[in-house]
Every structure is written in C-alpha cells, then in structure tokens.
Amino acid sequence: MIKVVFNVHAPRQNVYAILTDYAAYKKWVPGCERCDVLSSTGNVTETQVVMNSAKRMELTLRFEAEPIQSLRFRMTKSRDLKGYSGTYRLMTAADQKGTVVIAELEIDAGFMAPKFMVDRMATKALQDTGEALNGYLKQAPSPAVAAPQRPRAEKEMKPRRSKHVLRVVKTQAGYRVWLLGEILDMAARGDKPGQP
Amino acid sequence: MEKQSASVVPGDPALVYEILTGYEDIAEWMPHVAAVKLLAKEGDLVLAEVQMQGQKQRRFTMECIHSRAKEVIWRPVESDIPISQVRWDLAATPEGHCTVSLAIDRRLSLALFSWGGIRFARPRQWLRALRNQVSLFQPGLQLPDSEGEKILEIVETNEGLVCWIRGRKYNLVAAAGEQPR
C-alpha cells in the first residue's frame, strides 16, 4: 500500500465536494479520460473509469464516502488490473487554513509488472493528484464554505506542567548546577570538585 | 528487523504520554531531530512533519496513532527513512513510575547507509533522552548529593519563566522583538 500526504489549500468541505464529484474527474485527475457514474445509492457510487497514463485502462470503481471524513474506492471489474483500491482521508490542517489529505493506493498489476515499478508509479500518481487538486481548486474554486469555528487548541487550554530549566545549589565542594537534566559540578576558585 | 529496549522512567504514564505526544516539543529531547511541525490532529491521529538535524532538505511526514497513556505509534509516510514503525508501550509500575517499552521496526533502505539512518534508530539512546526529558517535569526535583543552599532556580510554568534567587521569586518576561538564536 502506497501512502502519500498532501496539503490542499481549501476547506475540507470543498475538498470533499470535489473528490465526490466523480463525473468531473476527467477535468482534473491526471490521466483520467472518462468517468461515468453507473449507479449511486446513498454514499456508495459505482463508476466506469478510463485511465490513460502509462497504459490505457478501463475499470469499474466503487466509491464509498464518509461525508467530510474519507472516501474509499476499490475496483470491482477490470481486464487490465488484478486489483486497484485506496482511500482519501481528510483532516483539517493544524493551522486551520486548509486540508491535509492522506491518500493510499494499492495497485495489483499481476505478474507482468514488477511491484517496485508499480509502487513507484502509484506514488507518482498520488503526488500528481495532489498537485492537480490544488490546481483545479485555484482555477475553478467551489463555493466557499465557512470553516467551522475552531475549538481552542488543546495546548492553549491545558495548563502546562512546570518544567525545570536550571537549578544552582551551593554545596561544601562548590556549586552543583543542574541544567535541563544534566549535572555539572563547579569547584570554588582554587579547588577541584570532590577534593577537600 | 526489530530493535527493542525497555526502561523504567521516573514519571507517571500520563506525563510520559504527554511528552511523547507533544509533537511540537519533540525536537527538544529527541536525538537527531531538528524540528517537528504539526500538520493535522484529529482524535488519536496526528500528522507531523519531521526535519532531521544537519539535513535541511531531509523532511518526512509521520503518522502518529495514540492510545491514551498506553501506546504511541509513529509511522513515517512516503520517506526513505529506514524505519517502518516506532512503537512506545507504557505501563504503570506499582511505585507510580512508568515502564516504557520501545520497539523500532527497521526496514532495508539505501538511506541506512547514505545518511546515518543506523545512528538514528537506537532505542536505548531514545529511552535515555526520554528519561531525561521526563525528569524536567518532576515536581520535587532531586539532585543527587546536593545538600546545600539553593541559590538559583528557573522553572517554566503557566505564568511563563519563573526565577527564584535565594528564595525570592521573579517573573521573567521575554524581551520584545528578540528572536531565539
């Protein structure tokens, strides 16, 4: 399973809306020649997709969406591939300015194509998809959806534990300095630590 | 290829968990890590971008999965880092400390040789660093063989940096416009 993380400069709702607009895939998904919706029930959609990048492939993909959270897809029929499945998982970026997408893709091309080569192509395909998605959003922005009010960050709300930074103790032998977990002994002038 | 190590850390599991999941502060204590940027956080899943020390271009995304005060798992995503998973298991000891078991799954990668990946994946070194970091948060900081007069103490608290000089408390205020060097 290949995993790629990319940032999309748009609210999560917009990203979800684009990812689930299957008929529009041909407008932005790299290598997508056609994407026809065959059936749709609730959040499950069956599509007929034609991809034309390294090789022209026709496959039937079933998409299962979990609104604004994730989109799973898996191949149900294809003459060219043995398996094709993956997920887009959406997370609101920590800076609240966009969406972080965790994209996973598994391609089984059978005996004819070595796995390392297929994995490399899958990685490239996911990275290109991330770029294309950002490009598509810039070019044809979907209606802005107000980002939900952000709850105050956990770090701000939680009281911080006290953290010791430095302690200096005057001992009989001189000074003992504790600095961020390390102890240093300093003798008084003319003395050596540990010597009377 | 899994490397394992375990150690009793003098702190409760909640504190150890807080340190392990405080991603923005991990560079403070984790060997060879220069900076960590939080990308996204949702429930028990966190995505963070890690930058290695001395390698400005060497960044990777890490997927972090937590189970409160019990388990922390880190998995690098799309990276040539020679680690496939890091797993920290936490268990309370009867004395109120925490047994930390660390397992690092290493994977074969050319990066093992090209950028000191071997040096990076050392469970014992990581556990030592964690123990040290935990010690900073101990409320009753004990210095071995340090009977004597407490001259100076600086503690980072909710109020900011607090300094005691011969028992007198001062609140330190950051100088405006000064950037950390």
| pLDDT tens digits, A30-61 | 999 999 999 999 999 999 999 988 788 999 99
Of the listed ranges A69-73, A81-85, B135-139, B150-154, the one predicted with least confidence: B135-139
Q: Do A160 and B153 touch (CB under 8 A)?
A: no
Q: Is residue B163 part of a domain?
A: yes
Q: Do B147 and A171 touch (CB under 8 A)?
A: yes
- Cβ proximity of A29 and A17 under 8 Å: no
Q: How many domains does chain B have?
A: 2
Q: Provide the ipTM.
A: 0.75
Q: Is residue B142 part of a domain?
A: no
Angle at B27 between CA A12 and CA B135, to 5 degrees: 120
Instruction: Give the strand pairing for A2-8 and A99-108.
Output: antiparallel
**A109-122: average pLDDT:** 84
Query: What CATH superfamily classification does A2-139 receive?
Result: START domain (3.30.530.20)
> Do B152 and B76 share a structural domain?
no
**Nearest-by-CA chain B residue for A94:** B40
Angle at B165 between CA B159 and CA B167, to 5 degrees: 85
The confidence score (pLDDT) of residue A146 equals 46
Quick one: how many helices (H) and strands (E) in chain B? 4, 10
Residue of B25, B78, B170 for testing the chain A interface, max A β-carbons within 10 Å: B78
**A151-175: average pLDDT:** 74
Quick one: how many helices (H) and strands (E) in chain A? 4, 10
> Do B76 and B160 share a structural domain?
no
Looking at per-residue confidence, does A4 or A141 come out higher?
Answer: A4
Q: Identify the domain containing residue B85 by its residue range.
A: 2-135
Q: Is residue B81 part of a domain?
A: yes
Q: Does B110 touch chain A (CB under 8 A)?
A: no
Q: Do A183 and B61 touch (CB under 8 A)?
A: no
Mapping DSSP to helix (H, G, I), strand (E, B) and coil, where does residue A135 land? Answer: helix
pLDDT surpassing 70 at residue A159: no
Mapping DSSP to helix (H, G, I), strand (E, B) and coil, where does residue A11 land? Answer: coil
Q: Which residues of B touch A105 (CB under 8 A)?
A: none
Distance between CA atoms of B133 and B2, rounded to whole angstroms? 25
Mapping DSSP to helix (H, G, I), strand (E, B) and coil, where does residue A148 land? Answer: coil
**Using CB atoms and an 8 Å cut-off, which of residues 48-77 of chain A contact chain B?**
none
**Nearest-by-CA chain A residue for B154:** A166
**Nearest-by-CA chain A residue for B152:** A168
> Do B161 and B105 share a structural domain?
no
When pLDDT is cut at 50, 70 and 90, the band that residue A126 belongs to is very high
**A116-142: average pLDDT:** 87
The confidence score (pLDDT) of residue B52 equals 84
Query: Would you tell me how many other CB atoms lie within 10 Å of the CB of residue A76?
Result: 13
The confidence score (pLDDT) of residue B125 equals 92
Q: Do A91 and B18 touch (CB under 8 A)?
A: no
pLDDT surpassing 60 at residue A143: no
> Do B12 and B34 share a structural domain?
yes
φ and ψ at A67, to 5 degrees?
Answer: -45, 125
> Do B160 and B117 share a structural domain?
no
The confidence score (pLDDT) of residue A12 equals 94
> Do B178 and B97 share a structural domain?
no
**A110-120: average pLDDT:** 84
Can you read off the two tokens belonging to residue A25?
Answer: 């895939």
Per-residue pLDDT of chain B in tens (181 residues, 90 and over written 9):
788 999 999 889 999 999 999 998 999 999 888 899 999 999 899 999 998 887 666 788 999 999 988 999 999 987 778 888 999 999 999 998 999 999 999 877 665 555 555 567 789 999 999 998 998 887 766 666 567 888 999 998 888 899 999 989 999 988 876 665 5
Q: Is residue B140 part of a domain?
A: no
> Do B152 and B126 share a structural domain?
no
